Amino acid sequence: MDLIGVLVLFLVIIVFAAVVYFVIRNIGHLVINSIVGLLTLFAVNYFHLMQYLGKPDIGIDWITVIICALAGLPGAILLIILAFFGITL
């Protein structure tokens, strides 16, 4: 192997390690935010908080779970706001 090939290989390994480190470091925040979002949606339905506002409970189906899992607490708040205005998913 020549020197340029070794340098390119070394650069690729450094970039790969940096990406793996970034993903592993931020995955904990993503998981925690997803759990908080799902628990928020569950609590709103468990305590029937939407019924106090005269609205039906938020249906828990695949799309609401995916939104809460990907967006976390902001996703749950978005679903609550949409349900308040009568928009259901």
Quick check: 35 pLDDT over 90?
Answer: yes
Quick check: 1 pLDDT over 70?
Answer: no
By CB atoms closer than 10 A (0-12, 13-18, 19+), residue 68 is buried
pLDDT of residue 5: 83
Domain boundaries, the chain: 27-84
Supply the DSSP symbol for 2: -
pLDDT of residue 27: 87
- Which of 16-20, 26-30, 62-66 has the weakest average pLDDT? 26-30
Contact at 8 Å (CB) between 34 and 72? yes
At a CB cut-off of 8 Å and minimum separation 6, what does 9 contact?
A: 1
At residue 31, what are phi and psi to the nearest 5 degrees? -65, -45
